[in-house]
Amino acid sequence: MSEPRVDPKVMESIVSLCKRRGFIFPSSDIYGGLSSAWDYGPLGVELKNRVERFWWREMTQLHDEIVGLDAAIMMHPRVWEASGHVENFDDLLVEDTVTNERFRFDHLSAEQREKMVSPAGNPLSAPRKFNLMFKTHLGPVEESASTVYLRPETAQGIYVNFKNVVQTSRVRIPFGIAQVGKAFRNEIVTKNFIFRTCEFEQMEMQYFVHPSEDEKWFDFWRAERMAYYDKIGIRPTHLRWKEHGPDELAHYAKAAFDVEYLFPFGWSELEGVHNRTDFDLSRHAEYSGKDLTYLDDQNNERYVPYIIETSAGLTRSVLMILADAYEEEAVGEGDVRTVLRFHPEVAPITVGVFPLVKKDGLSELARDIERGLRESFTTFYDQGGAIGRRYRRQDEIGTPYCITIDYETKENGTVTLRFRDSMEQIRVPVGEVEAKIREATKAYRRVGL
């Protein structure tokens, strides 16, 4: 089995597979694309929805103290003053004075920053501050009173609903609020496919705790989040923690760790776990004039909760899952198969169903079996071409199971069940296919782990 490499060619193969097989297309493709914006095709939207559902289940259904929320993208402009985004959400932009290529100053090496030279060795322009928020106007009149921003993170929608949730749900501290949604940042440099885009999706969970327990819950959530990546089938050797040093900490944070993943272009951030202290609720209380303290009526104590944040990119997670799953595997003499080893829970299609041949009633029988499985799984019916090629097409899009209906099915009611990773084939009675797939999904471990 080939190990994924830090290699631009792997990235190119993933981008090309995504386009060829309908995972991800450039936005407005027929017009030549729009830099850094991407559309999720039939398989891509299934994959993204499943990753989201996996996270949602993990963070809400499996925790009775975490509730969900879906806040609006546009919020009162004061929110972004209170949060510090109007004042501080800047990146430093520098330009290569010869090629005019732009860079984020903090993305250059220490040596380049010190010498003020670009990666090509040319002199850089003086750093300029650049606010990342997209600004627009609400209503027909463009005046400053109508200015709104497209949210650059989903977190603030959670903080401003803290009081609503406490008053209407039966939550008691410690508790969390989870949200998945779009966020927008006018990034100076967008690159690496869907890794850094101006429009993206985040999966955030904000956990409200007693100030004396912040460190305990911070450690708890760090452990939980790493365990999640194992559950979703990511190779542990491709994940690591990176702690923010004192000079890197955001203005609101007491402690911050990033989960980094070994992408084909190197180690990069996937998720942040932050101890945000009481900064957010205190600031919103100050700017809104509302009381955002929490009353613990059992201990008769009133306080501003601390917040432990887990903030992951959904679209960035999709790229990680594609990169981790992608393999070109040597099978036999000079033969290589491309396979996406998705965890069965996130694979866009769970079962491929094929008749061995189109004739002798096998197509009809296969169709019937496929319809029977639809209630339980996402299925794909394919009767075109040699059976080996049909298997390979499903390997390439990461379908974990395929079943083939042949003459023996007519005689004794059994089908061939083929497993994507091992390519093992077993005979199973039709009535047991569903249970077998569920069992294999539950026990799924990626090969080599």
**For binding to ligand ATP (CB under 6 A), which residues are involved?**
153, 185, 187, 196-197, 200, 202, 269-272, 311-313, 315-316
DSSP assignment of 123-175, as one string?
A: BBPPPEEEE--EEEESSS--SGGGEEEE-S-SHHHHHTTHHHHHHHS---SSE
**Residues 38 and 197 sit within 8 Å (Cβ to Cβ):** yes
* Least distance CB 289 / ligand ATP (angstroms): 27
* Least distance CB 37 / ligand ATP (angstroms): 11
Angle at the Cα of 243 (from 449 to 252), degrees rounded to 5? 130
**Backbone φ and ψ of 71, nearest 5°:** -90, 160
Record the tokens describing residue 159, joined without a space: 């903080």
How many CB atoms sit inside 10 A of residue 295's CB?
13
> Between residues 321 and 437, which has the closer beta carbon with respect to ligand ATP?
321
Q: Find the helix or strand (DSSP H, E) in which 47 lies.
A: helix 42-56
Q: Which residues contact 61 (CB under 8 A, 6 or more apart)?
A: none
* Least distance CB 319 / ligand ATP (angstroms): 9
> Between residues 163 and 185, which has the closer beta carbon with respect to ligand ATP?
185
Q: Which residues contact 427 (CB under 8 A, 6 or more apart)?
A: 408, 414, 415, 416, 417
How many CB atoms sit inside 10 A of residue 27's CB?
15
Block residue for tokens 């003499």: 333
* Least distance CB 26 / ligand ATP (angstroms): 16
**Residues 10 and 4 sit within 8 Å (Cβ to Cβ):** yes
> Between residues 273 and 362, which has the closer beta carbon with respect to ligand ATP?
273
> Between residues 131 and 409, which has the closer beta carbon with respect to ligand ATP?
131
* Least distance CB 197 / ligand ATP (angstroms): 5
**Residues 59 and 205 sit within 8 Å (Cβ to Cβ):** yes
* Least distance CB 374 / ligand ATP (angstroms): 34
Chain-centre distance of CA 446, in angstroms?
19
> Between residues 55 and 200, which has the closer beta carbon with respect to ligand ATP?
200
> Between residues 91 and 214, which has the closer beta carbon with respect to ligand ATP?
91
Longest dimension (CA), the chain: 78
* Least distance CB 271 / ligand ATP (angstroms): 5
Angle at the Cα of 398 (from 397 to 402), degrees rounded to 5? 105
* Least distance CB 412 / ligand ATP (angstroms): 51
Query: Which of 330, 412, 414, 308 lies closest to 369 in space, CA to CA?
Result: 414
> Between residues 315 and 404, which has the closer beta carbon with respect to ligand ATP?
315
* Least distance CB 269 / ligand ATP (angstroms): 5
> Between residues 196 and 343, which has the closer beta carbon with respect to ligand ATP?
196
Q: Which residues contact 89 (CB under 8 A, 6 or more apart)?
A: 80, 131, 132, 133, 152
> Between residues 197 and 409, which has the closer beta carbon with respect to ligand ATP?
197
